[in-house]
Amino acid sequence: MTNERTLAVLGGAPMFSNRLYVGRPNVGDRTALFRRLDEMLDRNWLTNDGPLVKEFESRICAFAGVKHCVAMCNATIALEIAIRAAGLTGEVIVPSYTFIATAHALQWQEITPVFCDMDPATHNIDPKQVERLITPRTTGIIGVHVWGRAAPIDELADIAKRRNLTLMFDAAHAFGCTYRGRMLGSFGLAEVYSFHATKFLNSLEGGAVVTNDDALAAKLRLMRNFGFHDYDRVVYIGTNGKMTEASAAMGLTNLDAIDEFVAVNRRNHDAYARVLADVEGLTLLRYDPTEQHNHQYVVVEVDERFPLSRDELVDVLHAENVIARRYFYPGCHRMEPYKSYFPHAGLLLPHTERVAARVIILPTGNSIDLATIEAIAGLIRSARDSAAEVRRVFSKRSS
């Protein structure tokens, strides 16, 4: 062996004593957070559209350049409510290469998600394939801004207009990202943000629907609170989708630190690009320098030139306590219940299948420093140089 240390899968000790995770929470000024929480407790107002939620919604509107932000308990509920408020029925076209919640939010309401292939150059939904999937039962399209890079907004908008379809966007990855200089969140009928703990901007747990449509916003506010119009009058069907004051406190605190989060993510992404540039078979996804990005995801494609498969590389990194992730693998169409409903969907999704088998997400964020990134790159090189030995170990384990 030519490596200075023995990889953990070959009998060595893990390089990192503590696990390095993808999606560790960004946390702003704790003093400011605790001050907000103390004020919340002093008011004895913990939920039900409190002042912190209202402030959070107002600041999101100002940041994203939209008229309305309706904060919710999480992004899945936000997506479900937005879908119902928009009146979607029948079939809705979505990418298969997305988090399962995008599909579940439809199927939960007995709307069929029709899975569309991606453009392999962008990992976003392919508008040419969207056009081919439209049937008389199609009522809408939900685009996803994968990795915070804008979906093909203009092409999807043109299709939706010509075919009289509702266009919405899952913007779970995209807070703080732009398309042609305009913040993602202001396109289509509505967009849905995620403020889950793993997201760039987190509110402990939360989400929001953002829109410029006054009527839709009014309906969303009714629906997130059981359809109550006032204290004792219900005028519409609804559920409990409200964001708590504690979540809004965290969201506001992290909004204050958003420039710091972007700077750290950009620094880390640039460092990965530098240290992995000479590793043949690994391609780091790049972001358009003319747009704003949150750089939350360090996305690497592992191709045939690398001597280990993507899954073998993931196993090596996991053994070293680098908990890299196979995001969106194996695609929504290969998960239940969709796998049973559409057993041959993969035949129509060749690019999704190929990319889902190649992508690996590496740790970033405030918990990762430049020395750690150098060490992770060193592990990847060691795995490359020890590929034959690693393969023998994996072969013995599977036999």
Delimit the domains of the chain by residue range. 30-256, 258-398
Average pLDDT, the chain: 96
Each residue of 143-164: pLDDT tens digit? Answer: 999 999 999 999 999 999 999 9
Each residue of 98-145: pLDDT tens digit? Answer: 999 999 999 999 999 999 999 999 999 999 999 999 999 999 999 999
Per-residue H/E/C for the chain = CCCCCCCHHHCCCCCCCCCEECCCCCCCCHHHHHHHHHHHHHHCCCCCCCHHHHHHHHHHHHHHCCCEEEEECCHHHHHHHHHHHCCCCCEEEEECCCCHHHHHHHHCCCCEEEEECECCCCCCECHHHHHHHCCCCEEEEEEECHHHCCCCHHHHHHHHHHHCCEEEEECCCCCCCEECCEECCCCCCEEEEECCCCCCCCCCCCEEEEECCHHHHHHHHHHCECCEEECCEECCCCCECCCCHHHHHHHHHHHHCHHHHHHHHHHHHHHHHHHCCCCCCEEECCCCCCCCCCCCCEEEEECCCCCCCHHHHHHHHHHCCEECECCCCCCHHHCCCHHHHCCCHHHHCHHHHHHHCCEEEECCCCCCCHHHHHHHHHHHHHHHHCHHHHHHHHHHHHC
Q: Using CB atoms within 10 A of its CB, is residue 44 exposed (0-12), middle (13-18) or buried (19+)? A: exposed
Question: How many whole angstroms separate alpha carbon 345 and alpha carbon 347?
Answer: 5
Query: What are the average pLDDT values for consecutive 10-residue runs of the chain, which has 399 residues?
Result: 75 95 94 98 97 98 98 98 98 98 98 98 98 98 98 98 98 98 98 96 98 98 94 92 98 98 97 97 97 97 97 97 97 98 96 98 95 97 96 83
Q: What are the tokens at 382?
A: 């060691």
Q: Looking at the domain 30-256, which fold is it? A: Aspartate Aminotransferase; domain 2 (3.40.640)
Question: How many whole angstroms separate alpha carbon 303 and alpha carbon 265?
Answer: 25
Is the bond preceding residue 152 a cis peptide, omega within 30 degrees? Answer: no
* List of residues 6+ apart from 292 with CB closer than 8 A: 176, 177, 178, 183
- How high is the pLDDT of residue 398? 73
- For domain 258-398, the question of CATH label 3.40.50.10470 is answered with no
- How high is the pLDDT of residue 399? 66
Is the bond preceding residue 330 a cis peptide, omega within 30 degrees? Answer: yes
- How high is the pLDDT of residue 230? 87
Q: How far is CA 370 from CA 196, 209, 304, 377, in A?
A: 26, 36, 28, 11
- How high is the pLDDT of residue 2? 41
Question: How many whole angstroms separate alpha carbon 85 and alpha carbon 366?
Answer: 37
- How high is the pLDDT of residue 5? 82
Nearest to 69 by CA among 177, 199, 196, 171: 171
Nearest to 366 by CA among 204, 241, 254: 254
pTM of this structure: 0.96
